Structures are given as structure tokens and as C-alpha cells.
Structure 1
Amino acid sequence: MSESLTRNFIIESIRAAEDGAGFWATLSTEFAVPREYGNEILIHNGSTVDLARSTLPLVVCHNTDDLNIGIVENLKIVGQKLKGLIRFGKSKRAKEILQDVKAGILINLSIGYQILESHFEGDDLVATKWAPHEVSIVSVPADPNAGIGRSKNSEKKLMNTEKTPAAGANSRSASNPSAIVQKERDRIRDITSIGSRRGMDVEAQEFIESGKSVQAFRNLALERLDDEDSSASPASHASVYMGRPGIDSSGFPEFSIKRALQALKDPRSVDAGYEFEVSQELTRKLGRKDGHLLVPIGYPNLQKRSMNVGTIGAGGAVVPSNLRPDLFIDALTVESAIMDLNITTFNETEGTLILPRAVSNPTANWNNLDDVDSIAESDAVLDQISFSPKQLTSMTTLSHKLIMQSSPDAEAMIQGMLAESIAEELDKQSVQGDGVGSKITGITNTTGIGSIEYANGGSPSWADIVNLEAQLTTNKIRFGNTAYLVHPLMAATLKTTEVAANTGVFILKDGMMNGHRVQVSTNVPATTVVFGAWSEFVLATWGILALDVNPYGATDFAKGNVKVRAILDLDVGVRRPGAFATLTEAVA
């Protein structure tokens, strides 16, 4: 294990070095830190702690891209603790932070380190070789339930080395009754939560009563997924992936995009310590090295738009002094038709997602088994469809006042603005994407789908609609989750086209066409009708939104504005091409 990890602790008191050049600090202990797999324990002795880096940088919020505000030197092991001498620099920023530390305003420290060698003892990971690489001043420690950082009840203390440690301070959590109780509560809660999502309440109770671990129950849930029929509903697939070991966006309820943007706009800010720690943990878990600030998401919604406090309809309506936030009416955007069609989704995917699919099924035969015929073998022909991250990006401009002065409802506003434009482009490319370069391959350009045409210059007839549906039935696609997707102009045409002359019965009526739902979107070509079994369309996302800011644009700098770039990793695909067909106008 070589990932970068962090531990947090509170500055209770600091002891000045004899020469007045710095402060002695306890940087880490053998206190057990909760992680997603159980507790993590760092062994402290001369052979387990790699002190090859005898001097560590002192930074803010683990932001090693910015210049450090000091150093930590003279590292040494004293009584199962790692201690070091903290010296602040002479820069204006370093002096400001030092004064806040002395005043008790900044009280949280965090050490970054790598585990080089380890083994498990039950659910506990014991690090027998590890290396520190930086120490950070942070404002808000991360939630322990998300496996990032520590809460105030479980943080290590930066103690005065002349004080007597509290009883049991050096002991592991096993000797701390309150820690044992909390660990058991966490185990019961996690098992119950997974069981509820997976419909495994009985099994969850058995695991709780038998004292088995959360990891063991997660493994059972994943095994059940493998045993399920391939026709399982999209919801059941998604629920297992949300319950697996790893990152769950619901574990980051306090993450503020607005606060993160404030810190990115002004690197001197320490108000986003929690957000930077979450981003660092996501970076570690996902193996990212692109330097973006990563935001945990369930799903964000892309189009270029600007928001300004002074302009209603462009962000101005969210400022408390102008209008009540709960009465804010969002700008009109193209609705995400694709997401509303009960497609199959895989959230928070890791690596490359590979789904098997059957090209042909085994054949059945009639046989005389009275020692006459032998049963002929026939195997199903299988292949697979793979999904890998493709970057969908947006750029928007936020005003300084919007970021700094808006009410808490502006948090949802900023998220929504980034989300809506992503959803719009996703709809368009899911239908029309050509797969060239970095683009996804949409339905109309997927090899193997059905395709028929209506007369050039004309409009679809009732016979065309019936023939379009026959494209699916001849491929043995069962109707159930089927629906049409059309442009508003095509919908208008079909609403005024009779099934047969002079009948007064129209092809499209009350949102239905021949018994199937009709979804309308401007992201479909105006002359095209798409019909399909939408559960066969798969959307995979990789669970994070990457943010960057540029406050130094030629015009933005003078106005105090900041450009925000959002990047979402996703991919789409069709499991069974025969489940979709298009009706298009013939070329003249």
C-alpha cells in the first residue's frame, strides 16, 4: 500500500523550543484511526517509521502545490509517538497563520503519510512500515464515517511534552471502552444500511448477532450480485455498487462546492480544509494525478452560462438582499430526457467497467432418448461491452459577490448550474454522439441497431411506426421498458397526422404512441424518431466532479470574476443493439 493518507489532531498546547526558533509538536501516535475497512494503527518505533525525509514541509490544507508556510524538522520517536520541531516561515501568510495558532483560532493539524508495509489483525490494518511526507494546518477535520480524517472525539492531541499524558492515551482502541462501544455501533449501522439497500435484512441480522465484520457482509452482497439474473432492474444494480467498499458520495454530506471555489479563488484561505481533505482522499482512492479539486457527487447535471449578482436571471436573484432564495425560479434549460427513461446506471465506477452480453443463446432440440439419439451440445456465444472514462466539460463564469455573499441556497444554485449544462450535453451525445476523438458513441451511431426510412420531404405514417416497433420484436426484445424519443417538431407533426385518412385518430395522443410513452427532447434530430428498450442503455459515471478555477482572465480579473471549469468522467453504451431502432427521413 503506497497511497497518501492523512491523520488529524487538535493543537491543545505548544511548547516553544529552548532557542525560541520553533515549537515542539506530537505529530502522530498509535491511536487507532477508523478507515472504511476497519481501524488503522501505525506502529511507532525506530524500525517502522521511515524518517528518510528528516525535514517535512508545513503546508495549508494538504495543498502541496502552494509554497509551504514552514517546516517540521528534528523528527524523532519518543514513547510510541512521532515528534518534531515546527518552525514557521517569515512570509506574511506564515506570520498570519502563526498568530491564529497562538490565539487558538486554528487548532487542527493533519499529517500526510504513506503506508509501505502492513498486515491485518482481524478488521484492523497494522502498518509496520510507514513514511510521513508533510504536515498541514487545516480548518475542519473530515468526518470519520467517510474514512477521511478524524472527529473531535477520536483525534490525537498535540500535547505539551512536559505534561503527563491522560490515562490510556497510548493504548489502542481495544482498551478504550468508549471506542469499543462506538466501533460496535458503527459495525451494526453499516451492516444494517447495506442489508436494507440490498434487501438482505435477514442476513444482516445474522451477521450482526454472530459478530462478523462489515467487510464480510459487503463480500456477501457482491456475491449475491454475481448470482442474480442478468435481467435485474437498473435500481438493483446501482444499489449494490453504492453499497460496495469504496467511496459513497452520501458519506460527504457537508462538502461545499461554494466553499471549495472560494479557496481555489484565494489560495490563502483556510476555510476549505474539509473540502481539500475529501478531495485528497478521493485522489488517493481513485489514483488521480491531474491536480484537480475532486467533488464527491451522486450525479451532477453542461452549456456555457454566466452568473452575476447584479443581473436577475444570471445569478443576481439568489442574493438575500434581492429576493427570497426559496422563491428563486431557475433559468429554463433543456430537460434531461435520457435520465428520465429508466436507463441502467452504474454510479461511482472504478477502473474499466465490463458487462457481458449474449450474442446467441444455446439451441434446444427434440430427441428420442431411448438409446437412439444423443443430445447435441450447443453453447451460448458471449462477448462483452466495456466502459472507460470520457471527459464531459463545461465552463462558466461566477462573480465574486455570488461566491462570497450568496445565502446557503446559492450552494444548490451553483451545483445546479454546473449540473444542468452537463445533462443537456449528455442528452445530445447519448443520441447523436459519433465516438470520434473523446466523444461518446450515441444510439444513432451504434452498430447493429435497427433502421428504417420514411419518404423524403414527407412525415412518418402509421405504417412506419408499426414497422419501427417490428425492428425490436424481430430481435426478440420484449416490450415493457420501451419508449419513443422525438424532437418537439416531430411530436407536433405526429399529433396532427391521422392513423388513417378521415378517422380523427392521431398517431400521437396524450403522450402515447401505439401504447408506448413518448419522451420529447430538443437534443434529438428534428427528422428522427428513436424507439427502444431503455434499460439496455447504460450510463456509467466515476463518482466525482473535477473543478478548476481561473481568476486571471483578461476581463474577469478586472471585474473580480472567476471562470470555473467542471469535468465529469462518464461513458455510455448499448448492451443489446437490437433493442433500439430509428426512423429517419430518406435522403433525396
Structure 2
Amino acid sequence: MTSTTERTLSTVMTDLEAIKGKSGPDIDRRWAELAAEADTLKARENRQAVLDNLARSAPGTPLSGDEKYQEARNGFTIVDAVRAQMPGVTDTRVGRAKEMSAEIERRTGQKPQQGGILVDLTPAAETRATMTTGAQGTAGEAADLIPTQQRPDQFVSLLRARLITKLLGAAVLDGLTGNVGIPRQTGAAAAAWTGENQQFPAGNGTYDGLILSPKTCGSIAELSRNTVMQSSPSAQQLVQNDLLAVMAQAVDAAALAGDGANFTPKGVIPQAGVTTQYTAGSLTWPEILARLTDLETANAVPNGWAVGAGVRAMLMATPKAASVGSGFIMEDGTLAGLPAQWSANVPAGSLVLGDWSNLLIGLWGVAEILVNPYASEAYQRGNIQIRVIQSADVAVRRTQAFTVLTPKAASGG
């Protein structure tokens, strides 16, 4: 008997159909074998269906790593990687950062450029970060007599856009090397009911593929030498959060609305299967429900909304209908019974409904930190210039799994 891993349920059913009218010991034995094989395949399909349903609603998670490596990676901060490249700095944490960089190089094959340090940012690729530089308070007449106590634990952070693609269920593929091809079925064989002696439709499924190719995102920042040299865990966490935020913010924004131009990944909104406009400021309940129909027509099962600036307040104040007690369009953070995540990374006024497991975020290697303590302007201030680079790309497995609502100008406006 052919291995069940090479057969489908329809193949087994065809074999059963061929012998259902026959009898005899061999036929009975064969029937029992095929029935058992069918039961095994049905159980496997049921298990896969459960996993597929969970994947639609579960937050996305990185797809690689082991426990000991995770512990070692989380045991040092990015500040350690920065300090490891500063002349004359040698201590236990610096040594650990260099060892970690060497381990990442061994695992990924990625080599740091010009003496940089490799840093695995996977756990924080979608973590909201909370650090920026700022000025101290202005001095008064007795400033020279009053010491300044730095409180990095009370740092006033930037207000950043929320990172929502992972919360909605995007799949993160990390540790990639080279271009990545993902096969995709675009058409299925046909089936039809026919009369006796009439021909059945013939044809095979059709296929194409998605290509993920690394696109490079980078940033150059300047940090105070004193901040980097601080032994305070709070000070180190501030620096680390800011460096993580730079890459995470860029990846999240590109995954949602990247237009594919100028080396930017192409995100969900420009590729959505359906894009519909509504009159700005007057979104209605029927217009929301129609988006569910968009995805039902495409055989997609949505698991959440991405909501742009201004939409949440409008929907929370808009009744579903004129009748008393109809409720509001958006209540308790849900929209049409599905969770809604809001972020300024979504274009203002726009909404995206989709099955977010169809969004893939690919990460090549790890982020690389390169310190330059001799950059002219930074050097004159005693500061340190830092360059951060990450290669990533975005792919949408099924564009039909997403539908978009965008605002148009009100008539007469």
C-alpha cells in the first residue's frame, strides 16, 4: 500500500469506489486497509484545520530559536554591543557581547562589516519602544549651587506609533538567507455534475510563487558618551529601546502601507483585493458589514482590523442605526465582532480588514550595530555615532484576504 504521506483523501475514496461492488477475502482486507487509511487522513486534515483556525486568531511569533540561545541573547543589552566597540572599554559584559556576536555569526553565516557587532533583535521586532534624546531643564540663577540628579527611570519618551502587525497575526520568518521563494496555488481543477456517458471537465491546478528578497533599512543616531557609559540598567534600557524602535517602526509601517517604491517593501494596503472609499467623517454600519462580504466572496476568514488615526473615535461615537439602543459601530475595542488594532502606521482615516496570517514578514540575519566614535560633529561634542542596519521584506500570500476602506473628501468640501 502506498504511504499515506503520498496520498490524499480523494485518492483513497477513488480506490474505495473502485472495489465497493466486489467481494471476497482479498477485497474485504483491502477495503479495511483503505478505510483505516481514510480515517487517518481525515484525522490529519481535522488537526490541520484546527491549527489553521488558531493561526488566524493567534498573534504572530518568530519561527526560530532555541531556549538556551534565547536566554543567552536576552542576557545582555544592545548598550553592551555599543560599548564593545568603544576604545579602551573592557569588562565582563563587553566580552559577553563579543561572544554573542560570534555565536550569531556562526548560526546565520552573516559577517559584521568593518568590525561591527551583530545583535539579534527578533524578540523586539514588534515591541513598542520608548526612548529619544532630550534637553535638561533650563538653569536658574543658583544653578551652580544645585546638583543635577539624573533619573533615567523617569525618562520622558517620544510618543510613537503603535506596532500592530504582529498583534494582528502576521507570520515572522527569521534567519533567512538568500532570496526565498514561496509556492502559491492560483487555480484548482474543475468538478461538475454530468449525465450518463457525458464527459467530466478536465484540468489541473495552476501555480505561481512569491519571492521574498532582502531590502535594507538603516539609521544613524548619536548618543551621549555618558549615557552609553552609564552602568544603570535603566539608562541601558533607554538606549536599547530606542535602537530597537528604529527598525521595528520601519518594518511595521512597510508591512502595512509600504508602496514598493525606492527599495521599500510592498505592504498590505497597496495590494488589497478590494479597496473602497467612504465619505470622510461619515462611515456607516452597512459600509463596515460590506467589508465582511468582500472577504466571504474571496473565501477568506478575517481575524482583525487595522485602524488609522481618527477612525476609532469616529466609530465609537457613531450609532449603528438611528433607533434607540442600537449601539455604536465600535465598542469594547471590537468592530463587527473582530478585534481592532489602531496605529498611526495605518494611513489616517483608513481601515483594513483581513486574515493577517497571510502577511509574511521576512528577516535576513540580524541587525548590525556599528559604532563610530570619531565622526567629526559627534566627536566634537564627546558623543558617539551609531549605525543600525536590518534587512527585511514583506509578502502578502493572498491579496484577496484583505479589504481596505479609505476616506474621500466630503461632497462640496
The verdict on a shared fold, with TM-score over 0.5 as the criterion, is yes
The corresponding residue for 1:478 is: 301
Matches within 5 A, 1:219-298: 231=52, 233=55, 241-242=64-65, 250-266=71-87, 268-271=88-91, 272-283=94-105, 285-288=108-111, 290-291=113-114, 292-298=116-122
Larger gyration radius, structure 1 or structure 2:
1
SS of aligned partner of 1:470: helix
Q: 1:386 aligns with which of 211, 220, 228?
A: 211
Structure 1 position 500, deviation (Å): 2.1
Residue type at the aligned position of 1:297: L
Structure 1 position 390, deviation (Å): 1.5
Q: In the alignment, does 2:288 pair up with 1:465?
A: yes
**CA distance 1:436–1:249, change in 2 (3 Å):** farther
Residue type at the aligned position of 2:73: F
Distance in 1 (alpha carbons) for counterparts of 2:394 and 2:152 = 39
SS of aligned partner of 2:269: helix
Q: 2:343 aligns with which of 515, 518, 521?
A: 521
Q: 2:333 aligns with which of 511, 522, 526?
A: 511
Structure 1 position 547, deviation (Å): 0.7
Q: In the alignment, does 2:193 pair up with 1:366?
A: yes
The corresponding residue for 1:531 is: 353
Q: 1:347 aligns with which of 148, 160, 174?
A: 174
Q: Deviations over 1:246-275 (max 9, x none)?
A: x95555344442222123232x44443443
Q: 2:391 aligns with which of 566, 569, 586?
A: 569
Distance in 2 (alpha carbons) for counterparts of 1:491 and 1:238 = 26
The corresponding residue for 1:450 is: 274
Q: Deviations over 1:351-373 (max 9, x none)?
A: 223222221233333356x8x45
- Contact in 2 for aligned 1:353/1:387 (Cα 8 Å): yes
Q: In the alignment, does 2:298 pair up with 1:488?
A: no
Structure 1 position 434, deviation (Å): 0.9
What is the percentage of aligned positions where both structures have the same residue?
26
- Contact in 1 for aligned 2:307/2:351 (Cα 8 Å): yes
- Contact in 1 for aligned 2:130/2:238 (Cα 8 Å): no
Structure 1 position 295, deviation (Å): 1.1
Q: In the alignment, does 2:130 pair up with 1:307?
A: no
Unaligned runs of 5+ in 2: 1-43, 139-147
**CA distance 1:488–1:585, change in 2 (3 Å):** closer
- Contact in 1 for aligned 2:62/2:122 (Cα 8 Å): no
Q: In the alignment, does 2:395 pair up with 1:558?
A: no
Matches within 5 A, 1:53-72: none
Q: Deviations over 1:290-326 (max 9, x none)?
A: 33321123233599975379679xxxxxxx964485x
Matches within 5 A, 1:171-186: none
Structure 1 position 577, deviation (Å): 0.3
The corresponding residue for 2:266 is: 441
Residue type at the aligned position of 1:350: T
Structure 1 position 469, deviation (Å): 1.9
Using structure 2 for the length normalisation, give the TM-score.
0.72
Distance in 2 (alpha carbons) for counterparts of 1:253 and 1:375 = 60
Distance in 2 (alpha carbons) for counterparts of 1:311 and 1:406 = 23
SS of aligned partner of 1:347: strand
Distance in 1 (alpha carbons) for counterparts of 2:89 and 2:232 = 19
Residue type at the aligned position of 2:387: R
Moved more, 410-419 or 436-445: 410-419
SS of aligned partner of 1:299: helix
**CA distance 1:540–1:250, change in 2 (3 Å):** farther
**CA distance 1:553–1:243, change in 2 (3 Å):** closer
- The higher relative CO (CA closer than 8 Å, separation ≥ 6) is in 2
Q: Aligned pair count? A: 346
Distance in 1 (alpha carbons) for counterparts of 2:206 and 2:301 = 20
Structure 1 position 335, deviation (Å): 1.9
Q: Deviations over 1:160-213 (max 9, x none)?
A: xxxxxxxxxxxxxxxxxxxxxxxxxxxxxxxxxxxxxxxxxxxxxxxxxxxxxx
Distance in 2 (alpha carbons) for counterparts of 1:450 and 1:386 = 22
Moved more, 229-238 or 338-347: 229-238
User: CA RMSD for the aligned pairs?
Assistant: 3.6
Matches within 5 A, 1:368-447: 372=197, 376-446=201-271
Structure 1 position 529, deviation (Å): 1.5
Q: Deviations over 1:97-129 (max 9, x none)?
A: xxxxxxxxxxxxxxxxxxxxxxxxxxxxxxxxx
Distance in 2 (alpha carbons) for counterparts of 1:462 and 1:269 = 61
Q: Deviations over 1:31-81 (max 9, x none)?
A: xxxxxxxxxxxxxxxxxxxxxxxxxxxxxxxxxxxxxxxxxxxxxxxxxxx
The corresponding residue for 1:184 is: none
- Contact in 2 for aligned 1:397/1:563 (Cα 8 Å): yes
SS of aligned partner of 2:265: coil
Structure 1 position 532, deviation (Å): 1.0
Q: Deviations over 1:398-433 (max 9, x none)?
A: 211111123134333322111223333333222221
Q: Which structure shows the higher strand fraction?
A: 1
Structure 1 position 554, deviation (Å): 4.0
- Contact in 2 for aligned 1:303/1:422 (Cα 8 Å): no
Using structure 1 for the length normalisation, give the TM-score.
0.52
The corresponding residue for 1:501 is: 322
Structure 1 position 329, deviation (Å): 7.0
**CA distance 1:308–1:497, change in 2 (3 Å):** closer
Matches within 5 A, 1:304-343: 306-307=132-133, 322-323=150-151, 325=153, 331-343=158-170
Distance in 2 (alpha carbons) for counterparts of 1:566 and 1:260 = 11
Distance in 1 (alpha carbons) for counterparts of 2:63 and 2:307 = 33
- Contact in 1 for aligned 2:129/2:242 (Cα 8 Å): no
